[in-house]
Structure 1
């Protein structure tokens, strides 16, 4: 592991591990609900008795990271919960947004597939690959040629095509290609990559939120996670193809993202969105080995722990703490602990 000076790394691996333990204990204490092993969306008044699928999409990725650190089976309780959202409804099996009959979101399923493919890479357990491949079959049903291509966001309301349902689809396709070397996956990744860049990329390398299918109007909101998936996609495409244009694009996006999102010494409040952005930066770090790019992320992670933690050690600025944000910051600390850029 690379060791760098204290001007960069503010926190040791052991300190990150302590934070991880606290957050995991709090998730167990405050968010696990009932004998079925389901979770709560938030602390306080709930819209539903149990959480929507989205927070579990964040938690399963965080648990993949902590499982790798701790060499435990931390993913299994979350998988048990996610399995209760599974549906075999046509056109193909996937996961719905709630435990009862409900809408299916392409991005929810993509996040789960990414986590399972990352777990497959780490463990070589075929069950993870098989689950991800099944999800992928359903994901492809969300693609059509309206607006020139791209995947919808929501199955039963095909009104928009979003960066959040296209960027992660590129990553799912690329991970399947890496696992199988089947060209169809790389072809799909490039198809979606090219569409997303054509329709949703700003000139500076930041990505818009969505395009309306009917009006072609762009939702110009910019979120860290949308830029994060496209940053990571470019790095992985460079690793696969060795075409330096993807590396150049990744560096451009990384520079633009810091400029756009890191304001007054802080990132936006949505820790999980930021965790997805961090994935992109860490992918780039693996290629260019420029640890200085990560300083603002390390500093922000420390700021969150110091300034946005309540007396119960729950994280977040909102009064009713959410599972989504606990999972997001858990992933950030786990990834930084794994990176191990320590001052010691």
Structure 2
């Protein structure tokens, strides 16, 4: 997806060539273990999860938007339906991380990550934009509001501290797609409020005004060393809030 953004920004074919090479490899991860879906990695083909599937939907939909190849749209729809069928709570729209991680066929119900909510609602939003089917937008809205109800602190709407390393980036990815949803649905005032409240807290309590560093908790001052994933997450929040403030 980063390479595709680079291609769209520059028009350089080398970026597009890399995207298309990677896309062919990504598609090869589809197999029929547990009803289909893309495998998480090549040495564990029967482990399926949202991080492997929902971003692939976004990529496929954006490729379709650019080049209008029906095959790309068909892949996006196929992967999305698998992800929704197997890893989304049909009652609430909450998105689970994965299934069969330990080889026992079980879903990791206790893994509740902001990242999974973000990429799934982002996938629904891309499909809505490319098909006009309002059901995808409804899916995205439902997951967004369930995420707020389930993962935000009910007293102040702050998103959780998910730790360091890769999880340190999770909230920023959620914010990226919440901002896109707000821009598509301007009346989504509660989603906008969550973004702005978190950004305000980061700016006032977490962000060191001299060093400009962020913490895994957007309510606390950072402790050195600060990892790049955590820093990126905080800056994605501020960038998203700035975008909404201009509209």
Q: TM-score, normalised by structure 1?
A: 0.62
Aligned residue in 1 for 2:204 = 306
Aligned residue in 1 for 2:177 = 280
Aligned residue in 2 for 1:327 = 232
CA distance in 2, matches of 1:175, 1:150: 19
Q: CA deviation at 1:133?
A: 1.3
Q: Aligned to 1:315, which of 214, 227, 239?
A: 214
Structure 1 residue runs without a partner (length 5+): 1-113
CA deviations on 1:125-150 (whole Å, 9 max, x unpaired) are: 33332221111111122221111111
CA contact (8 A) 2:7 2:15 kept: yes
CA contact (8 A) 2:195 2:241 kept: no
Q: CA deviation at 1:291?
A: 5.4
CA distance in 1, matches of 2:15, 2:150: 36
CA contact (8 A) 2:34 2:46 kept: no
Aligned residue in 1 for 2:122 = 232
Q: TM-score, normalised by structure 2?
A: 0.84
Q: Does 1:163 align with 2:41?
A: no
CA deviations on 1:259-310 (whole Å, 9 max, x unpaired) are: 1121132101245211211222222223221252211111112212322335
Aligned residue in 2 for 1:194 = 81
Say which SS state the counterpart of residue 158 (structure 1) adopts: strand
Aligned residue in 2 for 1:338 = 243
CA contact (8 A) 1:163 1:209 kept: yes
Aligned residue in 1 for 2:139 = 249
Say which SS state the counterpart of residue 19 (structure 2) adopts: helix
Q: CA deviation at 1:206?
A: 1.1
Root-mean-square deviation (CA), in Å?
2.1
Q: Does 1:207 align with 2:95?
A: yes
Structure 2 residue runs without a partner (length 5+): 163-167, 217-222
CA deviations on 1:171-205 (whole Å, 9 max, x unpaired) are: 11111111110011111111110111111001211
Aligned residue in 2 for 1:19 = none
Q: CA deviation at 1:332?
A: 2.3
CA contact (8 A) 1:238 1:244 kept: yes
Aligned residue in 2 for 1:107 = none
CA distance in 2, matches of 1:254, 1:117: 25
Aligned residue in 1 for 2:219 = none
| Number of residues of Structure 1 aligned to a counterpart in Structure 2 | 229
Q: Does 1:267 align with 2:172?
A: no
Choose 269-278 or 200-209, whichever is displaced more.
269-278
Q: CA deviation at 1:159?
A: 4.9
CA deviations on 1:217-260 (whole Å, 9 max, x unpaired) are: 00111111111111111111111111111122222122111111
Aligned residue in 2 for 1:218 = 107
CA distance in 2, matches of 1:174, 1:321: 34
Q: CA deviation at 1:160?
A: 1.7
